Amino acid sequence: MSNVQSFKGVPGSYRRAVLFRPVLVFIAGLILTTVLLYVAVNQSIGPNYGEGFRMLSQLQEDIFSKASIIYTITVFIIVSGIIFLTLLYSHRVAGPVYRLTHFARALSSGDFSSNVYIRDNDVIHPLADEMNAMVDQYRQALGRLQVEMNALEKIAAQVAEGKDEDVVWGEIEESSGKIVSELERYRL
């Protein structure tokens, strides 16, 4: 009777991307911190033991301040990256939901003239496909009902012209039967 497909849910690739990308940003931040810390403290120790010892004590004092600065910058970059990814993924969900909401409002007001279009890689693309299939089925049903309503109008014109009542009643019963069977497909 109907061609309804089951809703597949959120694709696995989307879930993996949501988990993988923030972890990737975090790991990139750690690598960046390591490289910056190495570059900041990479100094020659000196030609002799005394100068090397003095350089190590100076390095010990500098390493904390440089590491703090590098860590702060890296944390800022990581947090910015995670915020960016969060906004990106929320947009990929909120945008299609917004379009589906407007589409559903149009349907509830009786406008079956359009379809909803969502990017193939959006999470709720299967839902949009099902809503478009539903609207197509309603359009077809409304078209069949319109054909039968036109047939009833022709029959009414025949009655007005004084055509044989038995023939007219047979046509009315046939046409009304088709309308009733079409409407019985839908539960209210």
Sign of the C-alpha dihedral computed for residues 100, 102, 108 and 112 taken in this order: negative
- Distance between CA atoms of 40 and 37, rounded to whole angstroms? 5
The yes-or-no verdict on residue 114 having pLDDT over 60 is yes
Distance of CA 3 to CAs 8, 9, 102, 104, Å? Answer: 15, 18, 25, 20
- Distance between CA atoms of 45 and 55, rounded to whole angstroms? 6
Confidence of residue 105 (pLDDT cuts 50, 70, 90): very high
∠ Cα 8 3 149 (to 5°): 135
Specify the DSSP element, H or E, that contains 33: helix 12-41
Confidence of residue 17 (pLDDT cuts 50, 70, 90): confident
